[in-house]
Amino acid sequence: LGTHPQKDVNVIGLLTTQLPRAGETILGHKFFIGFGGKGANQCVQSARLGAKTSLICKVSTDLLLDYTFVGQTTDAATGTASIIVNSEGQNVIVIVPGANLLLNFEDLKRASDVICKARVVVCQLEITPAVSLEALKMARASGVKTLFNAAPALADLDPQFYTHSDIFCCNETEAEILTGIPVGNLEDAEKVGCMLLERGCKLVIVTLGAEGCMMISVEEPIPKHVPAGKVRAVDTTGAGDSFVGALAFYLAYYPKLPMEEMIRKSNCIASVSVQASGTQSSYPYRKDLPQDLF
Ligand code: ADP
C-alpha cells in the first residue's frame, strides 16, 4: 500500500480559532493534507503490522496510485473529507463520497479473486451499502471470514449485514443509531451488544474509546469487557480504524488466538495510535511495537 506523497490527498484539514459562519471569511493557523477513508485506514494499519492487504475501491483518475484497486473513473472526483477544527476541538466536516459511490457489482466481480481467496474480508459503509453487502456475501460463499465495521452509522441497516458478518464491529455512536440505546457506560454497552447479537451475527464488538471494547458471541453469550491500557491520548481520530485494521491482521495471521486475546492486542495497537496526532500518520508499524503482540 502506498500513495504518492504530493498528489494523493483526499483529506484536507484546517485549524482555526472559531468555526466560520455562512458567508464569513476567517484566518486559520494550520493547514494539513492527508490520505484517508475508513477502508484505506484499516488497510494501512493491517499492512503496517505485516499483513498482505488489498483495497477494493474506486477513485478518480486524478490520483496516482500504486496499490491494488478495482476501478478508476472520470465521472466523479475521488471521495474527500474536508475538516475544519476550532481551538476547542469542535469540528465541521464535509464528506463528498464522489467515486466511492460508483463502486458497483461489476467491480466486485472483477475483484472476486481477491475477495474469495482472502483470509479475511473487511467491509464498511463508505461505499453503497448494497455493494458492501454483496462483498460480504461473496466472501461468505467462499468460506472467507467476514469482519463488518458498521461505519459511518446507518439507522436503517439491511438486516442481512448481521447475518453475513462473522464479526460485527461498531463504536458507541454507531451502536446507539443501530439500537436506539445511548451508550454511556459498560452496562449500556452490554445491552447493545446483546441486542445486536440477537440480530444474527456470530460475534459483536462495541468499541468504547478509552474503555476498550465490549464483546459478546454466540459461543459465549455473556458480554465481556476487554479494557484498553491507560494512555495519554493526544488525538483519537481514526482510532476505530486502527482497531479494525489490527483485528483483521490477527484474524488473518493468528486465527487460533482466543478472540478476547485478539481484541486485547488490537486495543493495545489502537491505544498507540491515539498517542500521536493524525490518522494514518499515527498508526504504528510492527517494528515499533512490543514483540509480545506478535
Ligand atoms: P472510533 O474511532 O470509531 O470512535 P473508539 O473511540 O471506540 O472508536 O476507539 C477505538 C479503539 O481505540 C478503542 O476500542 C480502544 O482500543 C482505542 N482507544 C480509543 N481511545 C482511546 C484512549 N483514550 N485510550 C486508550 N485507547 C483508546
> C-alpha grid cell for residue 86?
476550532
Give which of 151, 152, 173, 145 is closest to 248, Cα–Cα.
Answer: 145
Considering the domain boundaries, does residue 92 fall inside one? no
- Annotation says 241 is catalytic: yes
**Is the distance from the beta carbon of residue 270 to the nearest atom of ligand 1 less than 6 Å?**
yes
Which residue's C-alpha comes closest to atom 1 of ligand 1?
A: 240
Q: Whose CA is nearest to atom 6 of ligand 1?
A: 209
Residue nearest to ligand 1 atom 5, measured at CA: 209
Helix or strand run (H / E) with residue 60? strand 58-60
The total of structural domains in the chain comes to 1
Task: Please give the distance of CA 147 from its chain centroid, rounded to a whole number.
Answer: 10
Span 162-215, pLDDT tens digits: 999 999 999 999 999 999 999 999 999 999 999 999 999 999 999 999 999 999
- 273 marked among binding-site residues: yes
Domain that holds residue 264: 38-56+103-285
pLDDT, tens digit, 9 for 90 and up, residues 32-77: 888 889 999 999 999 999 999 999 998 887 766 555 567 778 888 8
The CATH number of the domain where 142 resides is what? 3.40.1190.20
Which pTM does this prediction carry? 0.94
d(C-alpha 167, C-alpha 259), whole Å: 10
Cβ 252 vs Cβ 51: under 8 Å: yes
Is there a binding annotation on residue 292? no
Domain annotation covers residue 241: yes
ipTM: 0.99
* Nearest atom within ligand 1 for CA of residue 174: 3
- Of 155, 56, 149, 36, give the one whose Cα is nearest residue 96: 36
Please report the DSSP string for 31-78 in residue order: EEEE---HHHHHHHHHHHTT-------EEETTS-B-S--SEEESSSPP
Is residue 13 in a domain?
no
* Domain-located, residue 26: no
Question: Is 71 within a domain?
Answer: no
Closest CA to 161 of 199, 213, 114: 199
276 is annotated as contributing to ligand binding? yes
Q: Is residue 174 part of a domain?
A: yes
Domain-located, residue 265? yes
pLDDT tens-digit series, residues 253-273: 999 999 999 999 999 999 999
Q: Is residue 196 part of a domain?
A: yes
Q: Kindly provide the b/e burial profile for residues 25-38, where b requires at least 16 CB atoms within 10 angstroms of the residue's own CB.
A: eeeeeeeeebbbbb
Q: Distance from the CA of 217 to the center of ligand 1, in angstroms?
A: 21
